[in-house]
């Protein structure tokens, strides 16, 4: 029986692999939405709590109720994007594991805020740093890697500051780690789409 399948040359195989990587990168670059969503929500919540604390408001932590709203928005957006996903790759699976690990770790930290107390936000910034640095490496996007490094540095600074100042440091961390890279990632995607 004759083999009806054509074997790919090494050049064709390499081209297919490169196309899959390019497709996966494009899919995740489209997700600048998530960086901007979480960046702006955390930025607003931390600054809002800082302002309310300065005004003597006992319910200043109410600003963090933005997070469940963000989770619903992110979930719905993610489901919509999943339906559009053209190619499933190892890279897309890897990214899902990184994000999943981040969410689980963040949940554990938040559950033990009472025990961590003043160390909660610095630890959260460390988790942000890990995710941003890995995602920047996967996408080969230096602003995200820089955002990760910045979050590591700011987490160290936060360890030596009181709670109210940590709120401002957290706002700066998400501005430099999520918001600015999110806009740059969106702009890069638009430039790629126009080519």
> 62-105: per-residue pLDDT in tens?
999 999 999 999 989 888 877 776 666 677 778 889 989 999 99
Per the CB < 8 A criterion, the answer to whether 173 and 150 are in contact is: yes
- DSSP one-letter code for 1: -
The whole-number pLDDT of residue 192 equals 63
Closest CA to 144 of 157, 154, 135: 135
Across the range 3-12, mean pLDDT stands at 61
CB-side neighbour CA atoms (13 Å) of 54: 10
Burial 97-114 (b: 16+ CB within 10 A, else e): eebeebeebbeebeeeee
User: So what's the pLDDT on residue 193?
Assistant: 58
Rounded percentage of the chain residues whose pLDDT exceeds 90: 65
H or E segment to which residue 141 belongs = none
Annotate 54-79 with b (16+ C-beta within 10 A) or e (fewer). Answer: eeeeeebeebeeeeeebeeebeeeee
Q: Is the dihedral of CA 131, 42, 191, 31 positive or negative?
A: positive
pLDDT number for residue 23: 58
SS (H, E, C) 4-61: CCCCCCHHHHHHHHHHHHHHHHHHHHCCHHHHHHHHHHHHHHHHHHHHHHHCCCCCHH
Q: Which two tokens stand for residue 52?
A: 């309310």
Q: Are the C-beta atoms of 45 and 63 separated by less than 8 Å? A: yes
- Section 115-125 average pLDDT: 96
pLDDT, average across residues 121-145? 95
Specify whether the CB–CB gap between 192 and 53 falls below 8 A: no
């Amino acid at each position: 029986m004759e083999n009806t399948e054509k074997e790919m040359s090494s050049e064709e195989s390499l081209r297919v692999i490169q196309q899959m990587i390019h497709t996966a990168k494009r899919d995740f670059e489209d997700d600048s939405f998530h960086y901007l969503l979480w960046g702006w929500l955390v930025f607003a919540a931390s600054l809002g709590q800082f302002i309310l604390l300065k005004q003597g408001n006992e319910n200043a932590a109410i600003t963090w109720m933005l997070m469940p709203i963000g989770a619903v928005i992110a979930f719905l957006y993610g489901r919509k994007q999943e339906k559009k996903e053209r190619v499933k790759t190892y890279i897309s699976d890897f990214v899902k594991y990184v994000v999943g690990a981040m969410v689980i770790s963040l949940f554990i930290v938040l559950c033990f805020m009472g025990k961590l107390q003043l160390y909660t936000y610095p630890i959260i910034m460390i988790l942000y740093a890990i995710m941003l640095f890995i995602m920047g490496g996967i996408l080969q996007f230096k602003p995200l890697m820089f955002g990760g490094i910045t979050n590591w540095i700011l987490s160290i600074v936060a360890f030596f500051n009181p709670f109210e100042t940590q709120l401002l440091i957290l706002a700066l961390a998400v501005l430099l780690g999520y918001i600015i890279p999110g806009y740059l990632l969106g702009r890069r995607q638009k430039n790629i789409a126009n080519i």
